[in-house]
Amino acid sequence: MICNNITKDSRGKLYFAGMDVSDLAKSFGTPLYLFDEERIRSNCRVYTEAMKKYFPQGSSVCYASKAASFAEIYRIAMQEGMCVDVVSRGEIYTALKAGFPLKRAFFHSNNKTDEDIAFAIERGIGYFVCDCEEELLFISSVAKERNITQKVILRLTPGIDPHTYEAVATGKVDSKFGSAIETGQAFDITRTALSLEGVELCGFHCHVGSQVFDSTVFFDAAKIMLEYVARVKAELGYEAEILDLGGGYGVRYVEDDPFIDIGDNLRLVSEFVADLCKKLSLKLPKIHMEPGRSIVADAGMTLYTVGSVKRIPGYKNYVSIDGGMTDNPRFALYGSKYTVLCPDKMNEENTFSCDLVGRCCESGDVIQESIKLPATVKRGDLIAVCTTGAYNYSMASNYNRLPRPAIVMIRDKSARVVVERESLEDIVRLDK
């Protein structure tokens, strides 16, 4: 199986996090997002334990909550001793509602509005990850008005191609995110940050991309960033306390995807950072990482019910399900791969070639193309799409006025609803 929290019994029934998924579908209905709490926690611990071990000078792991943002996730992150990366007032508000201490939150986004900045400062956000000079100036003015000193980290673009798909490559010089080192804009904003009242510069940040399998990308990023830290120390007399290397480690969606040993990667990054700091005569900065996908992706699964099975002789076959791009837009957006299973037919051979499509009124509403399912697949059967914990619920929409599915969290073989299924009343709630 693609992940070891997915198993089957001798009758050919699919289990997720130790629970029979057909029972879950019966109890909670479909479409349904499932989350495996133990897996989320163990993924958090892979990071927190490795970071503690390999970065004794101090480190933090910030869960990038854009991957899956709902109150229970912030509670779990808090209990696991994580910080969080938030990108909007919505994420901040959700974290607050969950009781997450905002001192441990890092506010990202390439375009924080005046209202966002005031909102975050008022509620005591720990750090701004500042994208550009205009934002920095505004933060400084709000902080001064309130007589506080706001901690900031500067997001820089190191000019690295992470070899992933274009929509999630963010570290290149022409990226919409951050201030580029190559163009001199990083240096300008650093000088400004050091001269401004109301802000305290705490270090630098970069995030080169997402679903990255090439580990050298993180070494390249660390090298460029540390050389920059050394230049700033030499020319401006400021030595960064924090170096945030962002998120991005890739996860396995299909059997062909490689497996990344994150603990081992972090050990190698730590050795690389320590060596380079010695060469550059820098003190070891506190290293921060911001994983999103690798915390929640394999802790998720989506269940659907088959509606129609359409055979177009001489052309192709479609299996339509009761969800679609509204609960998982990732194939439509990026052509993302997924492993698709038939939970009640795990002992049957997969011989029926088809596209798995949603119920939205457009042809691009595809969950996965050219897959194989059992030839007996028919209306009423269950379908499971694996590894949907990251960027599925968080990117869901109400296109065609489809209500969003519920989220069920599984722990110790017991399931509880952590986000209710939207009702038709929810759909019209804001209409006048």
Site string for ligand LLP, 174-203 (x = CB under 6 A): ------------------------------
Phi/psi for 279 (5° steps) reads -60, -35
Site string for ligand LLP, 72-101 (x = CB under 6 A): -------------x----------------
Give the shortest CB-412-to-ligand LLP separation in angstroms.
Answer: 27
Both tokens of 185, joined, read: 């804009």
Give the shortest CB-351-to-ligand LLP separation in angstroms.
Answer: 31
- How far is the C-alpha of 393 from the C-alpha of 29, rounded, in Å? 16
Strands 300-311 and 317-321: antiparallel
Give the shortest CB-155-to-ligand LLP separation in angstroms.
Answer: 7
- How far is the C-alpha of 184 from the C-alpha of 161, rounded, in Å? 19
Both tokens of 47, joined, read: 């990071």
Residue 290 interacts with ligand LLP (CB under 6 A)?
Answer: yes
**Helix, strand, coil in percent for the chain, rounding step 5:** 35, 25, 40
Give the shortest CB-294-to-ligand LLP separation in angstroms.
Answer: 6
> What type of residue sits at position 367?
I
Among candidate residues 183, 200, 186, the one with its CA nearest the CA of residue 156: 186
- Choose, from 44, 202, 360, 361, the residue flagged as catalytic: 361
Give the shortest CB-69-to-ligand LLP separation in angstroms.
Answer: 12
Q: CA-based angle 17:83:221, to the nearest 5?
A: 100
Query: Smaller CB distance to ligand LLP: residue 208 or 377?
Result: 208
262-279 and 216-236 helices, crossing angle to 10°: 30
Residue 359 interacts with ligand LLP (CB under 6 A)?
Answer: no
Give the shortest CB-296-to-ligand LLP separation in angstroms.
Answer: 8
Binding residue for ligand LLP, selected from 158, 162, 291, 343, defined by CB under 6 A: 291
- How far is the C-alpha of 355 from the C-alpha of 364, rounded, in Å? 11
Query: Smaller CB distance to ligand LLP: residue 248 or 374?
Result: 248
Stretch that binds ligand LLP, among 59-67, 119-127, 275-283, 422-430 (CB under 6 A): 59-67
- How far is the C-alpha of 161 from the C-alpha of 142, rounded, in Å? 36
Query: Smaller CB distance to ligand LLP: residue 104 or 345?
Result: 104
Query: Smaller CB distance to ligand LLP: residue 85 or 344?
Result: 85
User: Alpha carbon of 283 to those of 141, 169, 192, 200, 310: distances in Å?
Assistant: 31, 30, 23, 19, 64
Give the shortest CB-178-to-ligand LLP separation in angstroms.
Answer: 9
Number of residues that bind ligand LLP (CB under 6 A): 22
Query: Smaller CB distance to ligand LLP: residue 218 or 219?
Result: 218
Binding residue for ligand LLP, selected from 324, 391, 408, 409, defined by CB under 6 A: 391
Stretch that binds ligand LLP, among 215-223, 288-296, 311-319, 372-380 (CB under 6 A): 288-296
- How far is the C-alpha of 218 from the C-alpha of 293, rounded, in Å? 16
Query: Smaller CB distance to ligand LLP: residue 91 or 290?
Result: 290
Residue 374 near residue 317 (C-beta atoms within 8 A): no
354 is annotated as an active-site residue? no
Among positions 108-137, residues that touch ligand LLP (CB under 6 A) are 108
Residue 246 interacts with ligand LLP (CB under 6 A)?
Answer: yes
- How far is the C-alpha of 306 from the C-alpha of 357, rounded, in Å? 10
Taken in order 106, 235, 135, 158, the sign of the CA dihedral is negative
Query: Smaller CB distance to ligand LLP: residue 207 or 345?
Result: 207
User: Alpha carbon of 187 to those of 107, 132, 231, 238: distances in Å?
Assistant: 21, 11, 9, 12
Query: Smaller CB distance to ligand LLP: residue 26 or 176?
Result: 176
Binding residue for ligand LLP, selected from 158, 248, 285, 323, defined by CB under 6 A: 248
User: Alpha carbon of 198 to those of 121, 142, 150, 156, 247: distances in Å?
Assistant: 11, 8, 6, 21, 29
Stretch that binds ligand LLP, among 246-254, 308-316, 344-352, 370-378 (CB under 6 A): 246-254
Residues lying near ligand LLP in the complex (CB under 6 A) are found at: 64, 66-67, 85, 108, 168, 170, 207, 210-211, 246-248, 290-294, 330, 334, 391, 395
Catalytically active residues are 361
